[in-house]
Structure 1
Amino acid sequence: MLRSTIRAQAAFFPKPATFGIGAEISRTMNIIPHRPLTKMLSCQTLGKLPTFGKWMVVALVFLSARSFAQPALTWDRTLGGNSWDELNGLLTLPDGIIAAGSSRSAPGDLSWNFLIIKLDFDGNVIWQRRYGGNEDDRLWAIIPTSDGGFLAGGYSFSGVSGNKTQPSRGDMDVWILKLDAQGQLQWDRAWGGLYRDELFAILEIPGGGYLLGCNSWSDAGPDKTEPSRGEQDFWLIRIDNQGNKLWDKTIGGTGYEQINDLAWAPDGNVYLSGGTVSDGGTGDLNAEPARGLMDFWLGKLDLNTRQLLWSHRFGGTGEDYPYALHPASNGLLYLGGRSGSPPSPPGPFNNGKDAPFFGGDSDYWLIELNHNGQKLRDWSYGGAGLDDLYAIQENPLGQFVIGGVSDSGISGNKTSGPRGGYDYWLVGLDDNGNPTWQQTVGGIANDALTKIAFRPDGSYVVGGHSASDIGFEKTENNLGVNDFWVLSFECDLVATIEQTGVAASCQPVPVVLNAEIPGCATCVYSWNTGSNEALIEVPGNVANTFTVAVRDEWGCSAFDTVAIEIAPPPDVQLGSSDTLIVQGTSLLIGTYNPDYQYFWNTGDTTATIQVSEPGIYSVTVTDTAGCTASAQIRVDVIFKSNVYVPNVFSPDFDGRNDYVSIFTDESVQRVVTFQIADRWGSLVFRRDDFFPAQESDGWDGSYRGHPVSPGVFVWLAEIEYLDGSRRIFEGSVTVVR
């Protein structure tokens, strides 16, 4: 525990220390210069648009005046325990945020442990995991893996103990942990030589496995297959998906090298960056001479042959160290860190420093390079104190976001005043590297930004560590000596697709989709149709789904999707095509739909009609899109009433069958007319408007007072029923004497 006790007494941010053995010890004592507080991880962004005039942004609170959708600080969270907690990893996931680092705050344990915390997008803790053995174990890197989990790594002094299943190889070993999506440990692996070895960067390899970027003071053995080149070297380890080592490679000069980042090159090879103090032409380094006390170093490795394809160094006469490497969407590389050097001539390799030095301990230094590692431009930003750049990220618009730590007041080209001791310092740059805005963010004591991560909508999450209590932007008190401090800056851009016109299969009238955001004059629209207009016309008779992505000048993004659904033509159901009803009853035909208009051949415009007469009834229906459909039904009436007229009678007035009349049941209301004619059609009898079933109301067999001769006569009767309907009956009757 002696080592832990000494480290706890180290100052938060002392002045830069000289590299070498003493500096290595200082790094374990939380001294910030020359030891990356965090290694940068690739930001997962959603469908970058083409770069519109590059913006480079140093860190991240957008508090300058703007007209629309500027990301705003929505919350900050202080996370940790009663001792020292230091954030070195920050990831944004579809369902939350991962804040990871090292902690000495475990109850009853003064040694360092890995600490991984998952937050929701409101900053609430979902879960936290702590891993370590009985000695110091520190996390320097974490990446999301393709299986939905994570790979975390750093160094370990522990043997088999606690969560560590691997024995110690030497003094300090590389230690990695494979975690599932819930942060639960799946397996751990350790590698090392006899001295100090630690991991600083991780790349997942397409097709399986990982490349680990490490530093090593060790010669060959036990896991190291190549001897040391100098003091500390770059050490690359290739492993499979289960953590089995496939090969390792040592790269370095006769002096001191420290790796900081790994990144994919467009051709499938790997960029590696870090710092070097070795002489040029020694070990594996090319002939470019040392520039100063410490130089930026960038190399390119062929993964298949394991050969270093090229390497370049950049710097002035002082100490310069890169903390972040970013392959940008514009095809260029950006290497950023700290510089304590004044301008220096480029030399034959154009690897000098053109940017000014503003005094103090260090300035932000940002270098732009092509894919071959040749320097194109460089910029510096700082004041009279310490200004170290730690993270480079890129938002969905291709605008850079880089961030770091500063204790400078208003001086040099720093125009934003300090908060406490060390603060997050934020600077926005135009395409030519000119500052466009600056902002200092912090609490009342010391705060160091180490990581920046994007969400798909362009919102930002920043993380680092803090020794501050409540004050300025910090809303929660410090929990121990030093805590994780995570801040979220969220966009207010909202996209909504408004649809004008009705989609219909019956007519090819276009539908208008409008995603324009009022007041956002600089918004850029990208439809899945390829259109970049705010308003588009799409076919109204084809079902399809349309998505728009809207981005403003600050990189904020909003998305909306609309589905064009083609309504089926009107569905008209009148029942069976032939329908029988009983005479004297009625039938309701038609169905109600509030979106339809109706027109019947009866002249009705209601959804349903009541019918009681036989006939063909048809309706035409029109929906809201103007599509029509028709249907018809035939209605027949069944007459079930009894109508009876005798077919023979003997009008001899003997009291039997002396009349022929009409007889019915109770469904008949009256006889409208009853007429009888002879075989030549001459009318011999007629009686109108009488009640049926009265024999004496019929014909007595006479015509004009004289009995007719026997023979056959025809009759016709019109009957009116109780419901008002009428029917005509016909027949014949024979007169006998």
Structure 2
Amino acid sequence: MKNLKLLTALLLLATININAQTLEWAKSMGGTNWDEGLSITTDVSGNVYTIGKFQETVDFDPGAGTFNLTSSGSDDIFISKLDASGNFVWAKSMGGNSVIEGYSIALDASGNVYTTGYFNGTVDFDPGIGIFNIASAGGDEIFISKLDASGNFVWAKAMGGTIHDEGYSIAVDASGNVYTTGWFNVTADFDPGAGNFNLTSAGLADIFISKLDASGNFVWAKAIGEAAYDEGYFIAVDASGNVYTTGYFYGTADFDPGAGTFNLTSLGGRDIFISKLDSSGNFIWAKSMGGTGYNEGYSIVVDVSGNVYTTGWFDGTADFDPGAGNFNLTSAGSVDIFISKLDVSGNFVWAKAMGGTASDRGQSIALDASDNVYTTGWFQGIADFDPGSGTFNLTSAGIGHIFISKLDASGNFVWAKAMGETDYDYGYSIALDASGNVYTTGYFEGTVDFDPGIGTFNLTSIGSYDIFILKLKQKGITSFVYNDLTQNCFRDSNEIGLQNRFVTINPGNIITQTNESGVWVVDSLPAGTYTAIVDTSGNWQATCPVTQIFTVTNPNEITFVPDFGFVSTQPCASPDVSVNMPFMRPCFSNQIIY
């Protein structure tokens, strides 16, 4: 019977990284040219919205039907809506006689769709039968567009000057106010209405942060920067309306956009910044992380407690503690992925690195309801996605592969997946729905298997690069068993998982075992109430209850069981003592030393 239990445990352990995440669906859209998905989000019903760019004629119905859109210029924007099953709902395009790029998408509580990017020339921002033309002042200008949940035009606005200005990221607060970040140079007008609100860059390019109301009226705009290049890549808003941005800066830059001064100085090349303003655009704090190399923050997200998570890339040795302390990470190759967590005041909590000896980049970050951290991007060669003491290598067979990674709220490894073939495949954006399902978009070339498990689900591009949209379903029951060094029944970032601890679930007498990261997973259980019990064998004492009660409400969704903490009752190994007694007299019968 013991052997049967052990076999059951080992079989369950073998499925930990296979069945916990299953491919729900994957879709492709594209034509004979270069098409990219750049940003993705979901609504409360699980509908999936994507923005990106396309060229010439593309069929945006990924099913058996056809819904062609044709670009007006060299690049046009597409906005696509699929339902929770990946079926086509609608797709819209905006374009003109030149170039328009759509970088970011966000929704409000009513399902209205907001986008930002840049354009030049004259562009019709009404994707329906109407016309709403906006002409750029000379160079590239920022646009902000609003559609309703059916894709109908509501309004569009432009901000900028005569040189080059880009909107990179957009966010919406609970009142429908619209926040945008990106970069601008020289003088740009950020009031898209009849008024003027000019900002002037201190250098070649400065960061901007802009706020419009739900009708697209100007509220405020702020500039941050210095004499070189500084860019805002991503923006997020918390429940109180505080505004967070990340990106990069050079040299010494003043991050207080008001009358005060708060200078940050990069250590060498590009350094990462994280900035927090209140809902009125007033300075709260700003932090920098980096070293002498190439470091960029590319995506940011905030949890309900105000903790701030960022991803991007770095090279060489970079200090990720923005305070008086030091927490250095060193890249294994040219650039590596980083994930950073700061608290509500901008103090260091943890930072992690993932990568290999080639080039690896974190493009997008998202959280689930338990503050597990998901990232996507791309990597080359062999890369280790376990940022802890363990190893979890993924291998790119081509120029670059898509990755999807999951860490827990303390930065410990949970799982990682790769998708790609011999060409260039890129994950640009990641989002989660209320059930914890994971969505990504980006682009791929050739034939790619988008099932990250043992199955196969191939998509083949029509042209050079096609858009993909992927949904992974997370289901099962999962938890951690860890070494609770602080003995407070809370898993801190330095507290590692315990491998090979058996967990018994009843009813059913199901036995599973923790993996090298301390994670245990059971594929699925019928709806009901269960208990999970961790064995207490060996020199371990529980700091949390060894029995946890949990309820499965939906077998097709993921259920999180409270973690199990243990502390060693023998923190030091038994010593080996060697005694040299050259003068022991052989005439004594008792030669035992006590």
Give the structure-2-normalised TM-score: 0.69
Which of 427, 452, 466 lines up with 2:430 in the alignment?
452
Q: What are the Cα deviations for residues 90-143 of structure 1, in whole angstroms up to 9, with x where unaligned? A: 122315211221112344745211101122233232221111121111111111
**Aligned with 1:146: secondary structure?**
coil
Which of 208, 225, 250 lines up with 1:277 in the alignment?
250
Runs (5+) with no aligned partner, structure 1: 1-62, 495-514, 525-531, 536-547, 559-737
Structure 1 residue 380: Cα displacement: 1.0
Alignment of 1:12-161 (within 5 A): 65-66=15-16, 70-93=20-43, 94-106=45-57, 107=70, 109-159=72-122, 161=124
Counterpart in 2 of 1:328? Answer: 303
Determine if the alignment matches structure 1 residue 287 to structure 2 residue 250.
Answer: no
Structure 1 residue 442: Cα displacement: 1.5
Q: What are the Cα deviations for residues 11-64 of structure 1, in whole angstroms up to 9, with x where unaligned? A: xxxxxxxxxxxxxxxxxxxxxxxxxxxxxxxxxxxxxxxxxxxxxxxxxxxx97
Which of 150, 156, 179 lines up with 2:147 in the alignment?
179
Which of 347, 351, 376 lines up with 2:349 in the alignment?
376
Aligned-partner Cα distance in 1 for 2:106–2:511: 36
CA contact (8 A) 1:137 1:155 kept: yes
Determine if the alignment matches structure 1 residue 479 to structure 2 residue 453.
Answer: no
Q: 1:296 to 1:410 in 2, by over 3 A?
A: closer
Determine if the alignment matches structure 1 residue 302 to structure 2 residue 302.
Answer: no
CA contact (8 A) 1:288 1:349 kept: no
Q: 1:414 to 1:182 in 2, by over 3 A?
A: same
Aligned-partner Cα distance in 2 for 1:241–1:157: 25
CA contact (8 A) 1:78 1:479 kept: no
Q: What are the Cα deviations for residues 633-671 of structure 1, in whole angstroms up to 9, with x where unaligned? A: xxxxxxxxxxxxxxxxxxxxxxxxxxxxxxxxxxxxxxx
Structure 1 residue 77: Cα displacement: 1.2
Counterpart in 2 of 1:188? Answer: 156
**Aligned with 1:132: secondary structure?**
strand
Q: 1:432 to 1:310 in 2, by over 3 A?
A: closer
| Identical positions, percent | 22
Q: Which amino acid is 1:366 matched to?
A: I
Q: 1:368 to 1:189 in 2, by over 3 A?
A: same
Structure 1 residue 255: Cα displacement: 2.0
Counterpart in 1 of 2:218? Answer: 245
Q: 1:436 to 1:288 in 2, by over 3 A?
A: same
Q: Which amino acid is 1:490 matched to?
A: K
Q: Which amino acid is 1:177 matched to?
A: S
**Aligned with 2:398: secondary structure?**
coil
Q: Which amino acid is 1:104 matched to?
A: Q
**Aligned with 2:16: secondary structure?**
coil
Aligned-partner Cα distance in 2 for 1:185–1:300: 32
Which of 394, 401, 405 lines up with 1:416 in the alignment?
394
Q: 1:387 to 1:308 in 2, by over 3 A?
A: same
Q: Which amino acid is 2:438 matched to?
A: Y
Structure 1 residue 71: Cα displacement: 2.1
Q: 1:344 to 1:73 in 2, by over 3 A?
A: same
**Aligned with 1:355: secondary structure?**
strand
Q: 1:148 to 1:419 in 2, by over 3 A?
A: same
Q: 1:550 to 1:402 in 2, by over 3 A?
A: farther
Which of 356, 360, 363 lines up with 1:390 in the alignment?
363
Structure 1 residue 178: Cα displacement: 1.0
Determine if the alignment matches structure 1 residue 233 to structure 2 residue 176.
Answer: no
CA contact (8 A) 1:71 1:556 kept: no
Counterpart in 1 of 2:137? Answer: 169
Aligned-partner Cα distance in 2 for 1:260–1:377: 22
Q: Which amino acid is 2:445 matched to?
A: A
Q: Which amino acid is 1:213 matched to?
A: T
Q: 1:281 to 1:81 in 2, by over 3 A?
A: same
Q: What are the Cα deviations for residues 295-354 of structure 1, in whole angstroms up to 9, with x where unaligned? A: 1101111332x332321111011010011112124542111110112245969744x651
Give the structure-1-normalised TM-score: 0.56
Q: What are the Cα deviations for residues 554-583 of structure 1, in whole angstroms up to 9, with x where unaligned? A: 94589xxxxxxxxxxxxxxxxxxxxxxxxx
Aligned-partner Cα distance in 2 for 1:234–1:445: 34
Q: Which amino acid is 2:442 matched to?
A: G
Q: 1:220 to 1:173 in 2, by over 3 A?
A: closer
Aligned-partner Cα distance in 1 for 2:328–2:440: 30
Aligned-partner Cα distance in 2 for 1:255–1:554: 48
Q: 1:384 to 1:372 in 2, by over 3 A?
A: same
Q: 1:287 to 1:228 in 2, by over 3 A?
A: closer
Higher relative contact order (CA 8 A, sep 6+): 2
Q: Which amino acid is 1:483 matched to?
A: D
Aligned-partner Cα distance in 2 for 1:326–1:294: 21
Structure 1 residue 216: Cα displacement: 0.7
Counterpart in 2 of 1:511? Answer: none
CA contact (8 A) 1:409 1:416 kept: yes
Q: Which amino acid is 1:301 matched to?
A: L
Q: 1:197 to 1:549 in 2, by over 3 A?
A: farther
Q: 1:453 to 1:267 in 2, by over 3 A?
A: closer
Aligned-partner Cα distance in 2 for 1:398–1:517: 30
Q: 1:179 to 1:555 in 2, by over 3 A?
A: same
Relative to its length, the structure with more strand (as a share) is 2
Q: What are the Cα deviations for residues 71-91 of structure 1, in whole angstroms up to 9, with x where unaligned? A: 201322111222111111112
Counterpart in 2 of 1:319? Answer: 294
Aligned-partner Cα distance in 2 for 1:112–1:345: 38
Runs (5+) with no aligned partner, structure 2: 1-12, 58-69, 127-131, 191-195, 386-390, 452-456, 478-505, 513-519, 523-527, 532-550, 562-594
Aligned-partner Cα distance in 2 for 1:210–1:303: 11
CA contact (8 A) 1:458 1:557 kept: no
Aligned-partner Cα distance in 1 for 2:17–2:315: 38
CA contact (8 A) 2:266 2:291 kept: no
Structure 1 residue 236: Cα displacement: 2.3
Counterpart in 2 of 1:339? Answer: 314
Determine if the alignment matches structure 1 residue 488 to structure 2 residue 471.
Answer: yes
Aligned length: 455
Counterpart in 2 of 1:40? Answer: none
Alignment of 1:213-228 (within 5 A): 213-221=181-189, 223-228=196-201
Q: 1:410 to 1:270 in 2, by over 3 A?
A: closer
Bigger CA drift: 317-326 or 236-245?
236-245
Structure 1 residue 461: Cα displacement: 1.7
**Aligned with 1:464: secondary structure?**
strand
Bigger Rg, structure 1 or 2: 1
Q: What are the Cα deviations for residues 574-625 of structure 1, in whole angstroms up to 9, with x where unaligned? A: xxxxxxxxxxxxxxxxxxxxxxxxxxxxxxxxxxxxxxxxxxxxxxxxxxxx
Counterpart in 2 of 1:358? Answer: 332
